[in-house]
């Protein structure tokens, strides 16, 4: 990491120096976080140009003194549902009073989303994006799935694409009420006109493979159609009980299978032998009172683990990646270092990105300066606003 490229120090650049603990996520097996002490990072344009000891840093550039605080990569939230209308606070209150979570509650949000105008949805989305940025998230995915008509799914994909390239077509979120007795017709719609309308705005295809949502056979049909339209697969699976989600995700080489609350030993073995990331969503377990999955079990088996917020109005209405880290450490058996890695580099792997989630020359200049001396404070001091300055593509937000 030493050695500044010729000419970089003379370019319009920013040096972030006097970093007490730098998490690069470029490291050995002994330290996957690639921790550097007394470090500096040179930002040139929207990229990281140099990383190394503060004592070796150039002096002829604009300097930001970190004052001995910690710096981590910007969070990568690889699972959100940010374009929707209404909320489901009453449903949340009912769950806290003992009512179990069920996939059918999605239809409430579908009705509110269909009734909202594009401008209303766009304004609300802008608010959520500002919320993400304020909490250190610099890369995020957004799923459709709250329109469930051709026109509504297309507009959700289009609005999401205005704020992120990581758009996922999730027409297969739940079967809408008007198709309750015509499931095959709805799958035909998803794999035909709806997919054709949404594919130009989307990178990914996703299916909620779960009791109360879509069967394994329906899931395979929808994934295959999405792949044929050039979309890469990901999957909701094993959230409400054991099922075929992990098996199908691995079979279709999905980038990620998300939730993974109920896993068998066979599921874990399949994931360990694959490139499919297990994305855990601790905000869901917090909000639904389901049991937390064991990240420790997955990590010890050699599975790549990401954590994400699943920000949505029904089962996890939070956009806070710091909260996800604290929950992952407290409830899922992760160390603070593992949780921070999963919220940054792990999320990048779930999106098959190598330009974010790391602090290394050539990567996008997305960094978070914490108001804390180490990344451990994200779990050690839950609920405290520790995110100081956030840089996205080299510019402070």
Which residue positions form the known binding site for N-formimidoyl-L-glutamate?
146, 312, 314
CA distance 391 to 389: 7
| The pLDDT value given to residue 72 | 98
Q: Is the pLDDT higher at 205 or at 32? A: 205
Contact 62, 14 (CB under 8 A): yes
Higher pLDDT, 102 or 138: 138
Q: What pLDDT score does 375 carry?
A: 98
Rounded mean pLDDT of 95-115? 84
pLDDT of 286 strictly over 70: yes
Residue 217 to residues 192, 210, 255, 379, Cα–Cα distance (Å): 17, 11, 20, 41
- Please give the pLDDT value at position 92: 86
Write down the pLDDT at residue 98.
Answer: 86
The answer to whether the Cα torsion of 332, 333, 337, 338 is positive or negative is negative
Cα dihedral 107/257/259/265 (nearest 10): 130
| CA dist., res. 214 & res. 199, Å (int) | 20
Is the predicted pLDDT of residue 1 greater than 50, yes or no?
no
Rounded CA separation 87/112 (Å): 8
Question: Picking from 5-19, 160-174, 365-379, which range would have the lowest pLDDT averaged per residue?
Answer: 5-19
| Residues annotated in a binding site for Zn(2+) | 79, 81, 236, 310
pLDDT tens per residue, range 114-162: 999 999 999 999 999 999 999 999 999 999 999 999 999 999 999 999 9
The reported pLDDT for the residue numbered 100 is 81
* Residue, of 5 and 57, whose pLDDT is higher: 57
Enumerate the known binding-site residues for 4-imidazolone-5-propanoate. Answer: 88, 146, 173, 239, 315
Cβ within 8 Å of residue 377, ≥6 positions away: 70, 370, 384, 386
Whether the per-residue pLDDT at 103 is higher than 70: the answer is no
Parallel/antiparallel/unpaired status of strands 367-370 and 70-73: antiparallel
Residue 356: both structure tokens together: 């974010």
* pLDDT, position 90: 86
Poorest-pLDDT segment among 62-66, 93-97, 275-279: 93-97
Q: Is the pLDDT of residue 343 over 80?
A: yes
Report in angstroms the alpha-carbon separations of 312 from 95, 243, 244. 16, 23, 24
Cα–Cα distance list, 146 to 217, 305, 391 (Å): 22, 27, 31
3-class secondary structure, 287: helix
Count Cα neighbours of 133 within 13 Å in the Cβ-side half-sphere: 15
Report whether 207 contacts 228 (CB < 8 A): no
Of 193, 262, 182, residue with least CA distance to 218 = 182
List, as residue ranges, the binding site for Fe(3+): 79, 81, 236, 310
pLDDT average, residue stretch 287-315: 96
Please answer whether residues 234 and 206 qualify as being in contact, where contact means their C-beta atoms are separated by less than 8 angstroms.
yes
What's the CA gap between 279 and 383, in Å, rounded? 22
How much is the average pLDDT of 199-213?
96
Which residues belong to the annotated binding site? 79, 81, 88, 146, 173, 236, 239, 310, 312, 314-315
Question: Can you give the pLDDT at residue 152?
Answer: 98
- CA dihedral (86, 238, 182, 203) positive or negative: positive
Dihedral over Cα of 227, 233, 238, 244: its sign: positive
- Least confident among 29-33, 63-67, 230-234, 353-357: 29-33
Give the pLDDT band of residue 3 (cuts 50, 70, 90). Answer: very low
* Helical H segments across 229-300, by residue range: 245-251, 265-272, 282-288, 295-300
Q: Which residue has the higher pLDDT, 52 or 8?
A: 52
Separation CA 146–CA 60 (nearest Å): 51
What does the angle CA 160 – CA 166 – CA 172 come to, to the nearest 5 degrees?
75
pLDDT category of residue 2 using cuts at 50, 70 and 90: very low
| Domains of the chain, earliest start first | 8-74+358-396 (2.30.40.10), 76-350 (3.20.20.140)
């Amino acid at each position: 990491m030493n050695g500044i490229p010729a000419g970089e120090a003379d370019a319009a650049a920013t040096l972030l120096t006097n970093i007490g603990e730098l998490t690069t996520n470029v490291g050995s097996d002994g330290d996957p976080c690639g921790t550097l002490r007394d470090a500096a990072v040179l930002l040139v344009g929207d990229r990281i140009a140099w990383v190394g000891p503060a004592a070796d840093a150039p002096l002829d550039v604009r300097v930001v003194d970190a004052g001995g605080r910690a710096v981590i990569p910007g969070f990568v939230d690889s699972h959100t549902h940010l374009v929707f209308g209404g909320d489901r606070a009453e449903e949340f209150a009912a769950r806290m009073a003992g009512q179990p979570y069920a996939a059918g509650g999605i239809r409430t949000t579908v009705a509110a989303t269909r009734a909202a105008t594009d401008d209303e949805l766009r304004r609300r989305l802008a608010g959520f994006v500002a919320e993400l940025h304020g909490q250190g998230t610099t890369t995020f995915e957004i799923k459709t799935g709250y329109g469930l008509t051709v026109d509504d799914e297309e507009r959700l994909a289009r609005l999401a694409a205005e704020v992120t390239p990581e758009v996922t077509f999730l027409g297969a979120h739940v079967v809408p009420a008007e198709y309750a007795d015509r499931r095959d017709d709805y799958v035909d719609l998803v794999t035909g006109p709806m997919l054709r309308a949404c594919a130009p705005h989307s990178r990914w295809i996703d299916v909620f493979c779960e009791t109360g949502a879509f069967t394994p056979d329906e899931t395979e049909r929808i994934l295959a159609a999405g792949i044929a339209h050039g979309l890469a697969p990901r999957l909701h699976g094993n959230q409400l009980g054991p099922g075929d989600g992990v098996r199908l995700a691995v079979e279709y080489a999905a980038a990620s299978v998300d939730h993974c609350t109920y896993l068998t030993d066979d599921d874990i073995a399949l994931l360990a032998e694959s490139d499919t990331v297990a994305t855990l969503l601790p905000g869901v377990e917090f909000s639904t009172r389901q049991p937390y999955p064991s990240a420790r079990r997955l990590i010890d088996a050699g599975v790549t683990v990401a954590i994400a917020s699943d920000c949505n109005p029904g089962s996890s209405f939070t956009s806070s990646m710091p909260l996800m880290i604290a929950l992952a450490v407290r409830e899922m058996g992760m160390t603070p270092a593992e949780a921070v890695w999963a919220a940054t580099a792990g999320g990048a792997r779930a999106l098959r990105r190598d330009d974010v989630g790391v602090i290394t020359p050539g990567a996008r200049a997305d960094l978070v300066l914490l108001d804390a001396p180490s990344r451990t404070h994200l779990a050690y001091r839950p609920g405290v606003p520790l995110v100081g300055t956030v840089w996205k593509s080299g510019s402070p937000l």
